[in-house]
Chains A and B, each alone.
Chain A
Amino acid sequence: MPAPSPVVELRDVSKVYPATAKGGTDVVAIDKVSLTIDAGDVYGIIGYSGAGKSTLVRLVNALERSTSGEILINGQDIARLPERELRPVRLGIGMIFQQFNLLGSRTVAGNVGYPLEVAGQTKPARRARVAEMLDFVGLSDKARAYPDQLSGGQKQRVGIARALASQPGILLADEATSALDPETTHEVLDLLARVNKEFGVTIIVITHEMDVIQTIATKVAVMDQGRVIERGDVFDVFSNPQQPASARFVSTVVKGLPSPAELAVLRGRHTGRLVTLAFRDSSVDQARVFGEFAAAGVTFEVVYGGINEIQGRSFGHLTLALAAPGAQDATGDAAIDAALDRVRTHTTVTEVR
């Protein structure tokens, strides 16, 4: 299989806003970011507000111009392209927004057809494509409705139809589900997944909602203070975040590790030893661990934990209260230590103090 070709490639890209007041300091919104996004990826970009996600995604279709670095779209560097020459580039990159940004003065069909007007397509060609797109998003019956007659989820589906009307190879989703309720969010995410699978559109999703990444992204980059601090497969970043900021983020959706407050409660309830075991791709490991405890005469009680499922793979943490009732010494420490040593050979064990 040939290596997937990068559709979007950022090389050392920075965006600096000059100081507004005299004597003020420049604001570095994007700080030397390099990022490669391959064809067919659903690439998530996460981070807290102000981390630079929105700016980064706007550099890709040049709504914001970079200060330095190269921005390659299908191999073409657009970073220094004059505004007039950006039109064909932008027609190849669809974008959807948190607030949908539909034209209130136009019908649903008028909105979906808008990029085609810009592209200079004839009326019959536009009409056919609009019908096709509305059918795809399931809103054929709303063609003549105006945006203010639609629900939030319907508006975003119109936004998706509009973004894809000119058959772009790339779709940018800027907090596309953040204004929607959980149920509608999943409708829209399902639709985006279909866009990726059926049309082969490469999608860049920026969000602060981790479950969006969990649901549709294949790869993820974590942004903090204008930098990409961590990137990789969603499973890797979620199951084993390397940076404190990523770990904080991941902990908002990944259940399984007790918070300090919860830990204090657990400590109060269990006088014995507490250990946290980390599992990855691990149904077999769990059985093995439990078997080893049993063989060593160590009893355990699961006091906290959770197993997460991402892209068909699972990972998680279990916190156990251990005891060795049949041991010679009063605490059973020796037996427990022996059992833990065996477990450590294949599973990450953290003693909880």
Chain B
Amino acid sequence: MDSLMTLLPELWIAAGETLYIVGLTLFFGGIGGLLVGLGLYLTRAGSILANRPVFVVLNLLVNIVRPIPFIIFLAAAQPLARVVVGTGIGNAAIIFTISLAASFAMGRIVEQNLLTVTPGVIEAARSVGAGPARIIFTVLLPEALGPLILGYTFIFVALVDMSAVAGYVGGGGLGNFALLYGYRQFNPVVTWAAVLLIIVFVQLVQFFGNWLARKAFRR
């Protein structure tokens, strides 16, 4: 217990880093996921921008990336991280790699949520002359808003999960903290403290997401 007290400043820093990593990856991965999901949805057969080659490639890409365990993906994508963010280690690299992985994971969820929008509503929009861009922004996204919020809430947990291995490439956060000060120094109390904080984070976000989704559903 005493050791935990002395580590408290590090704990708060680690918590801040987790928030920082998860916040930015939710932003970038969220946008990436929205693009991938929209791409999948719009190009599938019978959709408003149906395009089989694009759909097949995108679908294949999602299916290839998604099942790769994140810790392996992190190592495999390191060269790409160097090219894009200029470094293969540290928080910048981990944010890039999580965002990339999350884009594909989230893309599938976004696609599924968009598929819940009744095709008839899109047909109604087409029948008054609305084009694809207008349909996306005035029909598709607003109609799927409730499920989309729940989808993003769901992916938040996955982001926290992925951020836990940031330590392997020199990143920080609660995962790194728990491994460094708890696991390696045989100090379970420290590990549990990190676990507790993560649970609190996840619960808060889940409550917030549910509340927001309820507002979107309660039209």
Contacts and interface: CB of A to CB of B under 8 A. Distances in A.
Contacts of B134: 118
Contact of A97 (B120, B128, B139, B143): B120
A114 to B, nearest CB: 6
A103 interface: yes
A63 B129 contact: no
Given A114-B138, A146-B219, A102 B129 contact: no
Interface string B179-219: 00000000000000000000000000000000000001001
B219 to A, nearest CB: 4
B75 to A, nearest CB: 43
Interface string A95-111: 10101011111100000
B128 A102 contact: no
A99 B124 CA distance: 10
Contacts of B6: none
A86 B130 CA distance: 10
B125 interface: yes
Interface in B134-161: 134, 138-139, 142-143, 145
A218 B177 CA distance: 79
Nearest to B121: A101
A148 interface: yes
Contacts of B121: 101-104
B86 interface: no
Given A103-B139, A103-B143, A146-B219, A84 B131 contact: yes
Contacts of A166: 128
A91 B118 contact: no
Given A103-B143, A105-B142, A105-B219, A114 B128 contact: yes
Contact of B118 (A86, A89, A94, A99): A99
B126 interface: yes
A186 interface: no
A115 interface: yes
A97 B123 contact: yes
A61 interface: yes
A114 B128 CA distance: 8
Contacts of A117: 138
Nearest to A149: B219
Contact of A101 (B123, B145, B216, B219): B123
A117 B139 CA distance: 13
Contacts of A97: 120, 123-124
B127 A86 contact: no
Most buried by B among A86, A105, A106: A105
Contacts of B128: 90-91, 94-95, 114-115, 118, 162, 166
A203 B6 CA distance: 80
Interface string B67-99: 000000000000000000000000000000000
A119 B219 CA distance: 25
Interface string A13-34: 0000000000000000000000
A289 B138 CA distance: 66
A88 B118 contact: no
Nearest to A115: B128
Contacts of B130: 114, 118
Most buried by A among B125, B129, B145, B216: B129
A63 B127 contact: yes
B219 A104 contact: yes
A119 B124 CA distance: 15
Interface in A67-96: 83-84, 86-91, 93-95
Nearest to B125: A114
B129 A87 contact: yes
Contacts of B118: 99, 101
B143 to A, nearest CB: 5
Contacts of A86: 129
Interface string A101-141: 11111100000001101110000000000000000000000
A172 B126 CA distance: 14
B148 to A, nearest CB: 11
14 contacts: A63-B126, A87-B131, A89-B129, A90-B128, A90-B129, A101-B118, A101-B121, A103-B143, A104-B219, A105-B142, A105-B216, A115-B128, A147-B219, A162-B124
Given A91-B129, A104-B121, 18 more contacts: A63-B126, A63-B127, A88-B129, A90-B127, A90-B128, A94-B128, A95-B127, A95-B128, A101-B118, A101-B121, A102-B121, A103-B125, A103-B142, A105-B216, A118-B128, A118-B129, A119-B129, A146-B219
Interface of A: 61, 63, 83-84, 86-91, 93-95, 97, 99, 101-106, 114-115, 117-119, 146-148, 162, 166, 172
